[in-house]
A and B are shown apart, each in its own frame.
Chain A
Amino acid sequence: GAVVSQHPSWVICKSGTSVKIECRSLDFQATTMFWYRQFPKQSLMLMATSNEGSKATYEQGVEKDKFLINHASLTLSTLTVTSAHPEDSSFYICSARDYIGESYEQYFGPGTRLTVT
């Protein structure tokens, strides 16, 4: 099956700094990738849809200037958390979409745990 990787798997940063998380589709091209956020013991909440070569589409309530998304190629999307604060600490999961048969399939990365101190 299709594989999606994320890097780093975990990161600790100081409040006020920026952190970049990479999401790669390893064996397929993904024109669309999704970024989810998961708080402890909670569900995955969609943050934004990342489209290759165009601006990302953010869900209501997600600050686009704080969570910068760049989909630079068909296999790479990045999420940059700018001026991170402790409340940004969370588990970030990316998902890449591929068209299989007659439908779209979503494949999920292993997640990145961000801790802001």
Chain B
Amino acid sequence: AQSVAQPEDQVNVAEGNPLTVKCTYSVSGNPYLFWYVQYPNRGLQFLLKYITGDNLVKGSYGFEAEFNKSQTSFHLKKPSALVSDSALYFCAVRDMRAGRRALTFGSGTRLQVQP
């Protein structure tokens, strides 16, 4: 089985401050991990993914995420938040051994960046 937890329904941060959106996962084998962003009434936009290699993954729009195997976490980060980053963020996972399986999504975290 594969699952994802996003413990925060909402994260508030002031513009210019660093932001972190938390994600923990559970898989039987090694994970493929993803972050997506969703704006109102829109589909998902891919931000970044981790498959293997460097634990720090850099993605679109200045976002990055750090894979921590011991803590089974994949937190999304950005050094300096923008108001335009305000959106709904989803973490997703797929067990590497279950390549045919669909991605499983977390519950989502709403990021609110205040000017």
How many of B's residues come within 8 Å of A, CB to CB?
A: 20
A12 to B17, CA, bound (A): 42
How does the 8 Å CB contact mask read for A33-71 relative to B, with 1 for contact and 0 for none? 010100001111110010000000000000000000000
Asked if A43 and B108 sit within 8 Å, CB to CB, the answer is yes
Q: How large is the interface on A (under 10, 10 to 19, 20 to 34, 35 or more residues)?
A: 20 to 34
- CB pair A103 B32 closer than 8 Å: yes
What DSSP secondary structure best describes chain B's contact surface? loop
- Check A49 against B105 for contact (C-beta < 8 Å): no
Q: How far is the CB of B9 from chain A (nearest CB, A)?
A: 9
Could you say which of A14-22, A73-81, A82-90, A104-112 contacts chain B? Answer: A104-112
Distance (whole angstroms) from the CB of B61 to the closest CB of chain A: 15
Task: Name the A residues within 8 Å of B107 (CB-CB).
Answer: 42-43
Q: In whole angstroms, how far apart are the Cα atoms of A46 and B94 in the complex?
A: 13
Least distance between B60 CB and chain A CB atoms (Å): 11
| Interface-located stretch among B18-26, B37-45, B70-78 | B37-45
Contact, CB under 8 Å: A43 / B105:
yes
Give the CA-CA distance A44 to B103 in the complex, in Å.
Answer: 10
A-B contact pairs, 10 of them (CB 8 A): A32-B100, A43-B90, A44-B90, A91-B41, A103-B51, A108-B36, A108-B43, A109-B43, A111-B42, A111-B43
- What residues of chain A have their CB less than 8 Å away from a CB belonging to chain B? 1, 6, 32, 34, 36, 41-46, 49, 91, 93, 95, 103-104, 106, 108-111, 113
